[in-house]
Structure 1
């Protein structure tokens, strides 16, 4: 044994071949943390000083190769002074280069995932062989970063600048077949033959059958682009990527800049520019926010795994009560993930609508090449439409998704409870009605909770799991596990008016209504908030959600929080509702809708709308619009955290991201508040004290600001 560490081992095999084994003894996966980098440097030193080594292979006995850098460890480093960060990049980069410079051929055997730093390690090798189940890529831009271990230098020299830019900017893992075609890897084999093929490849290189020195020289030379080719390639890339990334996502553009700047440099000189580029983005607010999202998402996944382990009931079959678009979407989602589902309604037309919704989603998947016709047929076959309650009697979990009316829901829930088994779980896909109210007439309220899906179900990642007063931990765990098995991210919230997402969205809409009452133009507000990063401005969002839906939520939230969510006299939403302008569904709301060439609704402004809601009286400062829209939302999120409606800041922010499309580059309401500075948020609120209790700073926020704390302080 040449080396035996906690993260790496190195042993001599027959015929002078060394095997570098990435196998972290303390973790289920391999990651590049500082201790792993240190051990790798020690392995490189041992290999350089061991006689008789003819070649080396890099392997991992784990199901994956290396998932990337340990972002939890590196996050704190991003706050270091720039000089310190550049120094760290240089030191880490020297380790990768040290492996690349070993005086014998190297082969990487990629099993499972080799992403980010894991793939950058593979790129230091002379040859790469991948298992047919492997996935490779450089997804750092998803975290607001760029590759920092040589990925922007080595990958373009292997697959060309155009392909490398696409890999880095799109941040997607790639199948080995695609990577082989482009030259990112050199061979693909079945998993059981991976080590054998890698050994044969390094033997062929060591014996001269493969020219490993030429391959290494190619990676370390300037890019083979003449001046015209270079100008065209990078100008096109910047135009395409910039249109999608700027101004909120600087990392993809920084990656292109580094690749362009270093195209004509030798690799070692080019690495210096990559280090500077990495530090340029790692210390931005976008990187901080997007790394935090990654960590928050890991928390949700961890909680889902714990739920699956602790649940005393596994959901292997489900039922949806109430077909239509929502019911069809829920049924599709369950069936597509391998959990058969009964879709029950009281009339055939509704069942047809639900089945058509599922088939429409599946057809689109087939057209896009995401699934085969055979797979589609299996999914459709696992959805059983029925007019009879007897079809749902064996379901492990039932989702009630009938009309949003407490009396109707109460009747349906009592009926189905009498049919299903005593250990089955009953849930309601309500968006506003109290879970405790719906549980009042149930015989087993401890096995009942809310399961609030967001529309369209197949696109929206969030499910709110609402815990009632009598709901047991086991019921919550099983429901969270089912949501996770459906491919959704579950956030557990306590029962309260509006639950969490709708409760915090309403103050945002109320801030919009107050701006209109004060003479603002909804077009300016939409433009400003879209510029802030929302997928659409509040007027457009209300039209999409439905003016009628928003109007009916007012009663529930006003009753629950009369001090800050009471109805506004002459509210534009109420005026539109009473004029039967419900938004897209009726053809007009704040905007008027026409069909475009593809049959999709296209919004236009009909000036007559101002005769109805009032003519704009003034143009507001953009910053004032942002503050008046965002402060009430932030404060309601803080109150939900303060009251224990949601357990953690991470879950608060992820629910907004997955349920409302909160701008990812801002990280969520609480991460955004941290970025602004909590003292600054408190000070901003003072300007709007006359607008009511919705702009009053919660006590938790005041205390944290006074103590100079943050929501993500740890």
Structure 2
């Protein structure tokens, strides 16, 4: 039997406890690993052992947390309670050791991994970029259930602990030191020697006092006062709750439950608080929200690991981007950050300088957030070479055009690219809606042409659609998808059609919202209701963010492709074509924007009245339910068509694309999981009602009719 935990005692009577989960690239706590740890802790090491140092045998990884598959398999409150208590019992044994325990953290130390580290007396981190410490459980719809909500506030103070617990974001090694979460830091090659020196220090009274004093300094006097006084704790907790509600609108119960656990247990004893934490964990695990969030995490991991299909390796070392605007500069930034040298070309030095400034600003943001050092930023910026001609293009492996969304301009650019590059160079378009088949028609070698649709803003959006045309070679698709992975993003392979996948599903949602606006519903009401449903931003505010000119242009492209079901209301055109109403970038669209605030734009409401006359419709008094169903179910309907047509292979991929590309309510698990949970039969019937009242665009897609007719679901393997 291969043990996960081994312990050896060296000549200095220091025990080295090593975690190496057999058959896995990373360490994680499953039931077997916890049981094995408990067995090791129960062993009699003899009275001569002076200290225990704990480490990982995995490369650049400590413990990534609990086994996500075991979390997904939790069956009810009793099962969840048992799992929480089992982990606590083992960690309490570790915390009860009489000799000093030092955990050496190199790489990811997350969730249950950090809770394990908190049960040790001391923590040492490495300065390596891979080192990160956090409790991301709220992102899975649960809370730390192995003592994290109890030990973390007592170590680093209430304000910083709540920030980590409620936000779910990890900190790096240097930040852990500043917080007092870590007691020492070392460069990875010397960490073993530094661990020995640290242990020798804390085996003395003086060394122990130094650690205590340092922790107090890290927490700070004000945080200690706030944490110690009831009124101070009340202020901190009240502020934390306001921030959670502003961020989640109450859709995610886990942060609020964690906040309540801390309120009830801090600063009481760990023993008294343990049962409260366990009950809160058990109440969250296995709920529909937790199941959906866990499923999304698992699906995202599967997508990142998946290889699109068999194909030849084509490593990209040098790239070029044509167009230094918002998208082009973002793509160049992402390439440079991933270690790829890139030429950024535009028609003038002013345009190139603007793109270089945008890339530099994105890098400065990383430096400010301690995700990158200034030296690393400078090295990355040196990978971007500005250009106004094709010099050096004969040496690049891939070229990505990101020029204006105009077919003739793109064709001209693509012809010029093909003349300037090697026969093996991959040529990509970043179009969001234009026909790739038409573009490919101007190329002599369309087999090396592929769509790479990045989403705006590129530095933040994790999804890239890899769009294969009928003549695109398999090797080209594979190489493009692998490049996207190297850039730290998730490739979604889709077939070519107008709007591809995400925009084809999203645009009906935006168009339908514009129809409701034309029918007399105020933009703020539409947006509020869809935000209450769980969308990150209301549809009409989203159009303002994208730009009404851009949104209207894309909507017309899809109307031309799909006909009456995507007919664009006169109101959207009226607003888009009215001088100055371009959205946020011009200061006015569906809303007026000034000094970081938005307010209703009464002029566009007058335009809606005029548009009603042009379209021959009357104002409607819509219910809240009608507004939400019209916006959401029209997306479900188009998603069913995409699945049936093979635009994407699986419902899982479609749901992940909508969550990652549009921010579709993650707690609902995705568009098609939402449809399954609501019931395909009920959705078919509701679409029929909407079609009778609002038009044939709501006629149920054939796949929905088929599934409803045989009692099926989009996810056939899910229990009803």
The answer, yes or no, to whether TM exceeds 0.5 is yes
Shift of 1:585: 6.5
Aligned to 1:231: 234
Shift of 1:13: 3.5
Shift of 1:584: 1.7
Residue number among 615, 625, 638 corresponding to 1:636 in the alignment: 638
Q: Which moved more, 1:606-615 or 1:503-512?
A: 606-615
Shift of 1:185: 2.5
| 8 A contact 1:587–1:593 mirrored in 2 | no
CA gap of 1:519–1:224, structure 2 versus 1, over 3 A, is: closer
Aligned to 2:6: 9
Residue number among 41, 65, 74 corresponding to 2:62 in the alignment: 65
| 8 A contact 1:461–1:489 mirrored in 2 | yes
Aligned to 1:655: 657
Summarize the alignment of residues 558-707 of structure 1 with structure 2, pairs less than 5 Å apart. Answer: 558-562=559-563, 564-565=565-566, 567=567, 571-580=570-579, 582-584=581-583, 587=586, 590-596=589-595, 604-606=601-603, 608-614=606-612, 617-690=619-692, 691-704=694-707, 706-707=710-711
Shift of 1:505: 1.2
Aligned to 1:711: 715
Summarize the alignment of residues 65-144 of structure 1 with structure 2, pairs less than 5 Å apart. Answer: 65-77=62-74, 80-133=75-128, 134-144=131-141
Shift of 1:397: 0.4
2:536 is aligned with 1:535: yes
Distance (whole Å) between structure 1 residues aligned to residue 56 and residue 365 of structure 2: 38
Summarize the alignment of residues 338-377 of structure 1 with structure 2, pairs less than 5 Å apart. Answer: 338-362=339-363, 375-377=376-378
Per-residue CA deviations over 1:426-461 (Å, capped at 9, x if unaligned) read: 011111122122112322111110111222333333
Shift of 1:352: 4.1
Q: Which moved more, 1:312-321 or 1:540-549?
A: 540-549
Aligned to 1:251: 254
Shift of 1:422: 0.8
2:81 alignment partner, SS class: helix
Aligned to 1:495: 496
Shift of 1:226: 4.1
Distance (whole Å) between structure 1 residues aligned to residue 421 and residue 484 of structure 2: 20
Aligned to 2:277: 274
Distance (whole Å) between structure 2 residues aligned to residue 369 and residue 511 of structure 1: 42
Aligned to 1:522: 523
Distance (whole Å) between structure 2 residues aligned to residue 211 and residue 384 of structure 1: 52
Aligned to 1:417: 418
1:452 alignment partner, SS class: strand
Aligned to 1:391: 392
Shift of 1:379: 4.1
Per-residue CA deviations over 1:625-660 (Å, capped at 9, x if unaligned) read: 111110111122232223221123332122222322
Per-residue CA deviations over 1:35-66 (Å, capped at 9, x if unaligned) read: 21222222233348x67655432221212111
2:305 is aligned with 1:302: yes
Q: Which moved more, 1:51-60 or 1:504-513?
A: 51-60
Aligned to 2:175: 178
Aligned to 2:223: none
Distance (whole Å) between structure 2 residues aligned to residue 53 and residue 712 of structure 1: 56
Q: Which moved more, 1:451-460 or 1:554-563?
A: 554-563
CA gap of 1:547–1:91, structure 2 versus 1, over 3 A, is: same
Distance (whole Å) between structure 2 residues aligned to residue 454 and residue 426 of structure 1: 18
| 8 A contact 2:591–2:598 mirrored in 1 | no
**Gapped runs of 5+ residues in structure 2?**
216-225
Q: Which moved more, 1:99-108 or 1:61-70?
A: 99-108
2:391 alignment partner, SS class: helix
Per-residue CA deviations over 1:154-197 (Å, capped at 9, x if unaligned) read: 11222222221122122222233332343322222232333344
Summarize the alignment of residues 434-453 of structure 1 with structure 2, pairs less than 5 Å apart. Answer: 434-453=435-454
2:289 is aligned with 1:293: no
CA gap of 1:173–1:507, structure 2 versus 1, over 3 A, is: same
Shift of 1:271: 0.8
Summarize the alignment of residues 436-515 of structure 1 with structure 2, pairs less than 5 Å apart. Answer: 436-515=437-516
Distance (whole Å) between structure 1 residues aligned to residue 367 and residue 49 of structure 2: 51
Distance (whole Å) between structure 2 residues aligned to residue 210 and residue 474 of structure 1: 60
Shift of 1:702: 4.6
Distance (whole Å) between structure 2 residues aligned to residue 46 and residue 374 of structure 1: 48
CA gap of 1:669–1:389, structure 2 versus 1, over 3 A, is: same
2:16 alignment partner, SS class: strand
**Gapped runs of 5+ residues in structure 1?**
none
Distance (whole Å) between structure 2 residues aligned to residue 696 and residue 168 of structure 1: 45
CA gap of 1:678–1:397, structure 2 versus 1, over 3 A, is: same
1:528 alignment partner, SS class: helix
Distance (whole Å) between structure 1 residues aligned to residue 706 and residue 30 of structure 2: 35
Shift of 1:279: 2.0
Aligned to 2:549: 548
Distance (whole Å) between structure 1 residues aligned to residue 39 and residue 374 of structure 2: 52
Compute the TM-score of the two structures, normalised by the length of structure 1.
0.88
1:18 alignment partner, SS class: strand
CA gap of 1:187–1:632, structure 2 versus 1, over 3 A, is: same
CA gap of 1:192–1:342, structure 2 versus 1, over 3 A, is: closer
Per-residue CA deviations over 1:443-483 (Å, capped at 9, x if unaligned) read: 21111101112223333332211111111221112112222
Residue number among 192, 210, 217 corresponding to 2:189 in the alignment: 192
| 8 A contact 1:55–1:203 mirrored in 2 | no
| 8 A contact 1:544–1:583 mirrored in 2 | no
Aligned to 2:221: none
1:561 alignment partner, SS class: helix
Distance (whole Å) between structure 2 residues aligned to residue 104 and residue 249 of structure 1: 41
| 8 A contact 2:158–2:227 mirrored in 1 | no
Distance (whole Å) between structure 2 residues aligned to residue 516 and residue 231 of structure 1: 43
Count of residue pairs brought into register by the alignment:
696
Shift of 1:363: 5.5
Aligned to 2:157: 160
CA gap of 1:348–1:234, structure 2 versus 1, over 3 A, is: closer
Compute the TM-score of the two structures, normalised by the length of structure 2.
0.88
1:393 alignment partner, SS class: helix
1:20 alignment partner, SS class: strand
2:171 alignment partner, SS class: coil
CA gap of 1:125–1:382, structure 2 versus 1, over 3 A, is: closer
| 8 A contact 2:431–2:451 mirrored in 1 | yes
Distance (whole Å) between structure 2 residues aligned to residue 346 and residue 203 of structure 1: 64
1:265 alignment partner, SS class: coil
